[in-house]
Amino acid sequence: MLLFKLFLIAILTLPKTLLAGLLIEPYVGIGSFSYKGSVKYDGNDSTLSSSTLRGPMYGGRLAWGMGDYGLGVDYTQGKLNDGGENSDLRNLAAIGMCSFAPFRVWLGYLLKSSRTIKNSDYDIDSTIEGSGFKVGLGWSMSKNISINAEYITVKYSKDDNPYLSELAETDSGFLLSMSFPFVIF
């Protein structure tokens, strides 16, 4: 019993930075992204008409934290619509996090972003790929509920459509989400 009490006192008096844990944080939200760019279609240069994609998104963060800092991955998926075309979006990012209660900040590099565009007019699905950056701010309402805002920008340069020879598209926008973080030691 004395050994247990000494162990408990030692754990409670350790500096916070020496404690480590695994953060698991699923989230749901709504995304809004505008896109612009240019494309070479059948040998002709064309400017993409600027439009805004909106829709529900979900994902999760998995990070290893030590004290107020952490490193991990963030995966986001969503179904977006601009009024005419539907798009399936997927992002995978490496992130670094910092928290100062009740707020958290994270920066991320999108290792891979893909958007599958479903064009109902021509019955053609096309997938574009690229990479980008994200920055986020979260406010913890309670221990396991957080409200988050993220700014995301992606540059797409690859397309699987055989009629497109060059693609230069930039998407940027916001993701507002509610997450449910918990830490496992």
Nearest to 183 by CA among 21, 63, 73, 74: 21
Nearest to 183 by CA among 148, 142, 143, 150: 143
Whether 19 has a pLDDT exceeding 60, the answer reads no
Mean pLDDT of 31-55: 84
Phi-psi region of 3 (alpha: psi -120 to 50; beta: other; left: phi over 0): alpha
Lookup: tokens for 124? 């053609």
Predicted local distance difference test score (pLDDT) of residue 59: 97
Do the domain assignments include residue 4? no
Lookup: tokens for 101? 């209660």
pTM of this prediction?
0.83
Do the domain assignments include residue 14? no
Whether 83 has a pLDDT exceeding 60, the answer reads yes
Look up the domain containing 36 and give its range: 20-184
Predicted local distance difference test score (pLDDT) of residue 18: 43
% residues pLDDT > 90 (the chain): 46
Tens of pLDDT, residue by residue over 152-175, are 999 998 888 776 767 888 999 999
Tally of domains in the chain: 1
> CATH number for the domain including 51?
2.40.160.20
